[in-house]
Chain A
């Protein structure tokens, strides 16, 4: 078991009497890459700002190891932040920006110079010391911001949607880069994003938030394969969400057909359940006895796969497949027991 570095207990924050973060608890282990994922307004940035010390919790505690840090001002916390808009100081060049935190600590010139060069190597900007920050591209500015945030050897690096201002290609490159940096320097990264793909790519652990509450936390595989509710299923990747009913464990009925599944009946009070099926888990082919039958209404090429919409009575399924099926074709949809995820009806 890894040692816990950051812990939140009953963390609550309101702005103007509106609750933004509602009594949440979480733990973050040393050297872990943890992502807070959620739509805008879910409270993820507020949580990060409370950890950094820019916002005070309304109630609840934040622990660094076993010490409550609520009352420690940001400048005394051994945590550093990479800002969404980088916030590089415009009146300083690359060297001065990165040296800034070390200058504050009155470190000697030689060791500052060495450390800056070393940090620039880490972020792949060796030799950029004398460049003006305004002359750098967005991606390069982001790297400088990361190097600057690492200059004080923080215990934890906080990243607030750091890649959102970059174009798609750059973003993909920086994702790989970030993961590499994290593994290289072996530090705890706490990352905030609304981009589910980014979260899945980078994280050791994802904490999914909605309306200031934790929906699910776990490894990317867990979150993707075993979403605990329809919000998570819908937010992480694409999902078909269908009303169904269960009269006994391991058997579910929806759209007029019975299927074997691997879940027990979630709620003994009612037979109603919600069925979640990922588009890529659906097999599309000939109509058969046990398949759900429908008609192809649209097909869009997505690069690796086709995204096909299939109308089956009153439900439109989204299917991802590498096979082509023309519009108007009669098809049958099939799924294995593993592909059917059962959730409690809301």
Chain B
């Protein structure tokens, strides 16, 4: 790299230092100090108590379930769209699934409240049909629904983009060699699409585990997740030290999850080179 190129890179270095490195350092400093500014492990100690562990586990559990649901719903959608022969129709269908993402995230989540609430659309309809009302809002189910709804496109898109790149000849060759359509999918198409699945899982799991808007709006505060905890500590309780420690713990968990995913991805990488 020559000198000029290095100069061009400086703004980005500055950006990274100010907006990425510095906040992380601050996060570290806050989480390892107490109110008086002295070094302390107190924040971590208080995090690892049953109540907070429960919140952490609950977050991971809901994020995991919503990722699984997104995968179960998203893979067939991506597969069906990728199989459409006309490129125009394909892009239209893809757009229909991506379109909600063009709307504000908060707005989309609020609109679910008006659908699910006690005086919401669904319950009004039930009432009109003289059926008993349902408790749809402010529970784990509503949080899960919100997560799946908001993050489903993040699953569909990467899987679709891998599926569309897989050479159709592989499936034809598998058929030629005696594989029926189911075997062709299980042994050829699906294994070749795993890199997209991994990207999809990563892109759904990470925002799902850290979201605080969805649980606070649709969960109604009864379902506190780690995102809510951090938000509450930082914004309401004003306990930056404890909030930072919780953030650091969540970051560590996400980093570990990413590392595990990358390991899967590595074994697939050489396959991707062949696909390109």
Q: State A145–B242 Cα separation when bound (angstroms).
A: 61
Which of A100-108, A201-209, A227-235, A266-274 lines the interface with chain B?
A100-108
- Interface readout for B256-269 with A: 1 if CB under 8 Å, 0 if not? 00000000000010
* B87 at the A interface (CB under 8 A): no
* B96 at the A interface (CB under 8 A): no
* B274 at the A interface (CB under 8 A): yes
- Contact status B175-A73, CB under 8 Å: yes
Total residues of chain A contacting the partner, CB 8 A: 27
* A65 at the B interface (CB under 8 A): no
- Contact status A89-B273, CB under 8 Å: no
Residue of A79, A83, A90, A133 with highest tally of chain B CB at under 10 A? A90
Q: State A81–B175 Cα separation when bound (angstroms).
A: 10
- Contact status A90-B271, CB under 8 Å: yes
- Contact status A148-B172, CB under 8 Å: no
* B42 at the A interface (CB under 8 A): no
- Contact status B270-A75, CB under 8 Å: no
Closest Cβ of chain A to B86, distance in Å, is: 13
Chain B residues within 8 Å of A1, by CB: none
Q: State A214–B179 Cα separation when bound (angstroms).
A: 33
Closest Cβ of chain B to A106, distance in Å, is: 11
Quick one: which of A87, A91, A148 contacts B191, CB cutoff 8 A?
A91
Quick one: which of A54, A89, A105, A132 contacts B178, CB cutoff 8 A?
A105
Give the size range of B's interface with the partner: 20 to 34
CB-contacts of A109-138 with B (<8 A): 132-134
Chain B residues within 8 Å of A134, by CB: 270, 273-274
Q: Which residue of B lies closest to A152 (CB)?
A: B178
- Contact status B177-A101, CB under 8 Å: yes
Q: State A73–B171 Cα separation when bound (angstroms).
A: 14
* B218 at the A interface (CB under 8 A): no
Chain B residues within 8 Å of A79, by CB: 176
- Contact status A87-B188, CB under 8 Å: no
Closest Cβ of chain B to A130, distance in Å, is: 14
* B180 at the A interface (CB under 8 A): yes
- Contact status B274-A90, CB under 8 Å: yes
Q: State A73–B274 Cα separation when bound (angstroms).
A: 28
Residue of A52, A54, A74, A148 with highest tally of chain B CB at under 10 A? A74
Chain B residues within 8 Å of A80, by CB: 176-177
Closest Cβ of chain B to A52, distance in Å, is: 6
Known contacts A134-B273, A134-B274; A89/B175 CB under 8 A: no
Quick one: which of B170, B177, B188, B270 contacts A152, CB cutoff 8 A?
B177
Closest Cβ of chain A to B112, distance in Å, is: 40
Quick one: which of A83, A105, A132 contacts B173, CB cutoff 8 A?
A83
* A85 at the B interface (CB under 8 A): yes
Known contacts A87-B172, A90-B275, A132-B270; A104/B192 CB under 8 A: no
Closest Cβ of chain B to A260, distance in Å, is: 54
Binding site for B on A (CB under 8 A): 52-54, 73-76, 79-81, 83, 85, 87, 89-91, 100-101, 104-105, 132-134, 148-149, 151-152
Q: Report 22 cross-chain contacts, Cβ distance below 8 Å, ordered by A residue.
A: A54-B175, A74-B172, A75-B175, A75-B176, A75-B178, A76-B178, A79-B176, A80-B176, A81-B173, A81-B176, A83-B173, A85-B169, A87-B167, A87-B169, A90-B170, A91-B192, A101-B178, A104-B177, A104-B178, A134-B273, A149-B177, A152-B178
Closest 3 CB pairs of A and B: A90-B274, A87-B173, A101-B177
